[in-house]
Amino acid sequence: MVEEFGGVPEATQGITRGVARLFVDLGCGVLTELSLATGRRVDVMAIDKSGTIHIIEVKASVADFRGDSKWPEYLEFCDHFHFAIWPEFPQELLPDDPACGVIVADRYGAEIVRPADERRLPAARRKAVTLRFARAASMRLHSVLDPRA
C-alpha cells in the first residue's frame, strides 16, 4: 500500500518536492497544484526571472502515466514542459517529443535529463498565466499570514 500524506501519495510528494527544489535553485518562483484557466490543475509551475514559464507533470508510476491523457493541454500554457519521474521509472514510456523534457527526481532534488524545446507563449497568454501565478502565490501567502481571512 502506498503511504499517503494529506491525500497525496508519498512518491508524488517526493518527486514534487525534488522538482520544486531544483527550480528554486535555478532562481524560479514555484507553485504546486496551480489551476489553469481551463480548470486543469498542473502539478508544478515555475517562472524564472525572465518570465519563462515551466510546467512540470509529475508521474509517480507507470499506471499514473498511462492513465493520464490531459498533459498535451498544458503545452499551450508554458514555454517549457517536462515530465518528472522517479529514477526507476522506465523513460522509454515517455513521449519521444522535443516539446517534452524529462526530469528525474526524488525528495531531495532533481536533474533535467532531457531538456524540453522552448515554445514561446504569445504575449497575451503569458500575461494571463503570469497573473494567475502571481494571484495564487499572493493568496497562498496571505492564508499563511491570516488563516481566518
Please tell me the predicted confidence (pLDDT) of residue 1. 32
pLDDT for 17-26, tens place per residue? 999 999 999 9
Question: How confident is the model at residue 73, as a pLDDT?
Answer: 95
Task: Give the pLDDT score at 9.
Answer: 82
Domains of the chain: 4-145 (3.40.1350)
Burial of 52 (0-12, 13-18, 19+ CB in 10 A): middle
SS3 60: coil
* Phi and psi, residue 128, nearest 5°: -65, -45
CA 19 to chain centre: 8
pLDDT reported for residue 55: 98
Could you give the CA distance from residue 31 to residue 23 in angstroms, rounded to a whole number?
10
Verdict on whether the full-model pTM lies above 0.85: yes
Three-state DSSP class for 93? helix
* Cα–Cα nearest to 103, from 131, 77, 82: 82
59-86 residue pLDDT tens: 999 999 999 889 999 999 999 999 999 9
pLDDT number for residue 52: 98
- Residue 107, judged by CB atoms within 10 A of its CB (0-12, 13-18, 19+), counts as middle
Walk along the chain (149 residues) in steps of 10 and give the mean pLDDT of each run.
Answer: 49 96 98 96 97 97 90 96 96 94 97 96 97 97 87
User: Grid cell 527526481 — which residue?
Assistant: 105
Evaluate whether 131 touches 36 at the Cβ level (below 8 Å): no
